[in-house]
Structure 1
Amino acid sequence: MKMNPLGRTGILVPELCLGTMTFGTQTPEAESHEQIDVSLEAGLNFIDTAEMYPVNPLSAETQGDSERVLGTWFAESKRRDEVILATKHSGNGIKYVRDGADINAKSIPEAIEGSLKRLQTDYIDLYQFHWPNRGSYMFRKNWTFDPSKQDRAKTLDDMMGALGALQDAVDAGKIRAFGLSNESAWGTSEWLRLSEAGHGPRVASIQNEYSLLCRLYDTDLAELSVNEDVGLLAFSPLATGLLTGKYQQGAIPDGSRRSISAELGGRVSDRVFPAVDAYLEVARTHELDPVHMALAWCRTRPFMASAIFGATRTAQLKHILASVEVTLSQEVLDALNAVHHQHPMVY
């Protein structure tokens, strides 16, 4: 498995990352542990989680269980040193996580301690902010995004306070690197500027949604990534399963994400299924598995550090891991670009 730099940290991460947002609900603990074992055997040693996981559904009763499942694996396996571990501090609005408060200098050490306890470890390799206090155009909010009511001075003051708390955690050996999630080009550039002014650790990565169906990253953030060595950790590279084709013609398989979240977080529309059909036709024409095609395409992007996938079942995980053996021809890439031109911005 190809390894890529995580920003300027000196840490290397594999081209695929195991996401864990189903661990503890859709994926039982024993199978979650099996997935970690299978991933490590394949050379995938990068695992991403969050204090608010699992999802589908989110609930106060299960909040933190994905980290707890990882924690029991670390405790039982004694293999913590073999894993690059990433987790996230929840953004505002989740009422049962610190009453929905903003990310701030006080919440950061509290959140880190909570994650460390659940994960049964004494350090986190990559600590990420799940979404910014000022809001984000992610999660389908790009259609109505309006930054005009943001308070720039407060935003920058919050950033400086957060960077100071992060630096304290770095100095204490509790985190190794800092990353963003659901961020914009302007926000990331300000985090970088403040870091370079001496306020705290430099941003190593951005975890934003990215797939054949969701290419918001392709412009300003792509340029920032390449020029500033801040790689993308792409979440939903299979578009929450849409790109597998399993939801075509109205199908909703038992136990699938859509059986729990019918609209797939706003991704389901009349326009998305014809786009998926077009991508599936490219796969059929070139005798490619659609899962392997979608993930292999992610690897071609110049800003990609790692693509984060989730697998409810271990069999799905093994199928996904085989994607690293697939290389797309220029003919396939041209066909995929043609579909994107025909079906842009489907959600």
Structure 2
Amino acid sequence: MKTNQLGRTDITVTEYCLGTMTFGSQTDEATAHAQIDRARDAGINFMDAAEMYPVNPVKKETIGLTEQILGNWFAKTGRRNEWIVATKHSGEGLAAVRDGAPITSDTIPGAVESSLKRLQADHIDLYQFHWPNRGSFMFRKNWRYDPTASSYSRADVIQDIEDCLGALTREVERGTIRAFGLSNDSAWGTMQWLREADRVGGPRVATIQNEYSLLCRMADTDLAELMHYEDVGLLPFSPLAAGLLSGKYQDGAVPEGSRMAINGDLGGRKTERAFAAVDAYLALAREFDIDPVHMALAFTVQRPFVASSIFGATTLEQLDRALGAIDLRLSEELLERIDAVHKQHPMPY
């Protein structure tokens, strides 16, 4: 499997990353451990978690359970050194974690220690901020995004970055984290972190984990340019658009135990335009005789700014299907046709 460097760090990861956000909710521990085994056997060396996981739904009583399940696998197998492990510090507003407190230099040490304890590990390879304190247009908020509504001034944002970089530097010096990344952030926000790291020191942003798929291509313009020139890698999450691109929700279908069966609108992704776009991509996959799941995943890893594409699976059967995309490369003809469909069905949710 192709591997990529995370930013300007010395960390190299496979172009696919095992997502774990259902571990402990839709996916029980035994199945989660089997997925880790299966993904590693397939050659994947990168796993992504978060302190708030599992999701679907997020509940205070299950916060941290995903990291705990990963830690149990590491303890049972003694194979922590075979994985590059990423996790995340929750941002402002999530009541189930620290009563919704923002990310600050004060919260970082405790959040790192708690993650390490659950992971039963002595370090985290990639430590990410899950979303910015100042707010974000991610999570389908782009339609009415208003940066002027933030309570943070520009000076507040810069001071916050400087303070957090100081705390992150201390964690790097302690050996608890190796690299730093952002998530659900913008080109402007990422640039401020890069500039302040150059100015005051601290770990340079290596990656940004934002939603990216055939149905959600917001990263293609300003952020893509930043990532290219600043050596920041994209870690796409939801490359299957919460399962929409598999086709399993077409024609009103709602499979038992699926994400749509649990939260209804797929976090705002369930729209008529989304189903129409999926129909077009399914037809394209049939024309080229490719599994639509494989097409969707391969599209993301062939983007020049992508470091590793994060996919998750509830069941082993879903995981096995996704693993079929490994080593697949889409032809230039198919990529051109994908762009044509995108022009017909832009940003359907």
Matched, 1:176 2:161: no
What is the CA deviation profile of residues 6-46 of structure 1, one whole-angstrom value per residue up to 9, with x for unaligned ones?
00001101110000000011111011011111111111010
1:206 to 201, 205, 208: 208
In structure 2, the partner of 1:34 is: 34
* 1-structure distance, mates of 2:149, 2:21: 32
Do residues 17 (structure 1) and 17 (structure 2) align? yes
- The match for 2:233 among 215, 231, 234 is 231
Query: Which amino acid letter does the alignment assign opposite residue 315 of structure 1?
Result: E
Distance 1:293 1:300 in 2: 11
Of 188, 191, 204, the residue aligned with 1:189 is: 191
The structure 1 residue matched to 2:325, chosen from 288, 310, 323, is: 323
- Which residue is 1:344 aligned to? 346
- Give matches, 1:102-251, under 5 Å: 102-150=102-150, 151-251=153-253
Q: Offset at 1:325?
A: 3.0
Deviation per residue, 1:193-238 (Å, 9 max, x gap): 0001133110000000000000000010000011111000000000
- Match of residue 72 from structure 2: 72
Q: Normalising to structure 2: TM-score of the pair?
A: 0.98
- 1:316 Cα deviation (Å)? 1.1
The Cα of 1:327 is off from its aligned counterpart by: 1.5
One-letter amino acid of the counterpart of residue 310, structure 1 = G
Q: Tell me by how many angstroms 1:143 deviates.
A: 0.5
Matched positions, count: 347
- The aligned residue for residue 101 of structure 1 is 101
Deviates more, 1:317-326 or 1:250-259: 317-326
The one-letter code sitting in structure 2 at the alignment partner of 1:45 is N
- Contact 2:238–2:310 at 8 Å: present in 1 too? yes
Deviation per residue, 1:83-139 (Å, 9 max, x gap) = 100000001111121110100000000100110111111100000000000000000
> In structure 2, what is the equivalent of residue 299 of structure 1?
301
Q: Which amino acid aligns with 2:70?
A: L
Shift of 1:314: 1.1
Amino acid of the residue matched to residue 17 of structure 1?
A: C
CA distance in 2: counterparts of 1:132 and 1:113, whole angstroms:
21
For 1:253, the aligned partner's letter is P
Equivalent position SS for 1:18:
strand
2:50 corresponding residue in structure 1: 50
Alignment of 1:262-281 (within 5 A): 262-281=264-283
- 1: distance between equivalents of 2:149 and 2:321? 46
Q: Work out the CA distance in 2 between the residues paired with 1:121 and 1:106.
A: 22
What TM-score results when the alignment is normalised by the length of structure 1? 0.99
For residue 320 of structure 1, what is the amino acid of its counterpart?
A: A
* Structure 1 residues 227-259: Cα deviation after superposition (integer angstroms, max 9, x where no partner): 111000000000000000000001000111111
d(CA) in 2 for partners of 1:301, 1:121: 32
CA distance in 2, matches of 1:110, 1:80: 22
- Mean Cα deviation higher: 319-328 or 265-274: 319-328
Corresponding residue of 1:90: 90
What's the secondary structure of 1:235's corresponding residue? Answer: coil
Q: Which segment drifts farther, 103-112 or 197-206?
A: 197-206
Code of the aligned partner of 1:58: V
Q: Which amino acid aligns with 1:205?
A: T
Give, in whole Å, the separation in 1 of the partners of 2:246 and 2:136. Answer: 27
Q: Secondary structure at the match of 2:47?
A: strand
Provide runs of 4+ in structure 1 moved above 6 Å: none
Aligned mate of 1:254, from 250, 253, 256: 256
- Please state whether the residue corresponding to 1:17 is helix, strand or coil: strand
Deviations 1:284-335 (A, max 9, x none): 1110100000111112211010100010011211111110232211221111
Aligned to 1:81: 81
Q: CA deviation at 1:345?
A: 1.3
Equivalents in 2 of 1:30, 1:282: separation in Å?
Answer: 37
* 8 Å contact kept, 2:89–2:128: yes
Unaligned runs of 5+ in 2: none
Which whole-Å CA distance do the structure 1 matches of 2:176 and 2:166 have between them?
Answer: 14
Q: Root-mean-square deviation (CA), in Å?
A: 0.7
Query: Equivalents in 2 of 1:73, 1:325: separation in Å?
Result: 27
